[in-house]
Amino acid sequence: MKKGFIFDLDGVIVDTAKYHFLAWQNLANSLGISFTHEQNEQLKGVSRVRSLEKILEWGNVSISQEKFTQLMSEKNEEYLKYISKMDTKEILPDVPKVLEYLQAKRQLIALGSASKNARAILEKVKLYNRFHTIVDGTNVSKAKPDPEVFLIGAKQLGVSPKNCIVFEDSVAGIQAANTADMISIGIGDKNILHEADYVFKDFTEIGEDFVNQLIITKKV
């Protein structure tokens, strides 16, 4: 049986969270708002618009729509400077191993990310051709925890949601996968991602036996 394996990008395939943090922190500081790593965790899987809205709420700061648009653009430009220097060393441990095994098993693989820079990042780290389809921030109108990004991915793979498995590092992403009626696998802290069906620290903990189990298991 062919399943649909859908991967988030940031924090799952590559660690771009650190670059988002630096860019958001600089933006927040320019507005006189302090920005912590804990707050950055809350922005994982969240759209750029909603992320800036949350930062403004935390700092109790109001700005014009024109300034809002300007800041979003500036943040993205700074982030793009960071990712322009990315290479294969940025790939998180054992991600290529899992992707290669799924390919060997003739499984269907998709990317489901809120990032509008997903395609550029995958090209930089030379993983673009590992995916049968890519759904990113340019293809969706609703941010996680809305399941839109994963449902589009399933449709493009030609697989029913019940036959899809999602790898996510954010609470919003896990909630989106659960709402889509897909198997959810958290990559990160079990205490944070406890809503997931399974949680692993990273892909070094995911062996071939577990992947084989996922291939034959259906969401019930």
Q: Which residues are catalytic?
A: 8, 10
What is the DSSP code string of the chain? ---EEEE-SBTTTB--HHHHHHHHHHHHHHTT----HHHHHHTTT--HHHHHHHHHHHHT----HHHHHHHHHHHHHHHHHHHTT--GGGBPTTHHHHHHHHHHTT-EEEEE-S-TTHHHHHHHTT-GGG-SEEE-TTT-SS-TTSSHHHHHHHHHHT--GGGEEEEESSHHHHHHHHHTT-EEEEES-TTTSTTSSEEESSGGG--HHHHHHHHH----
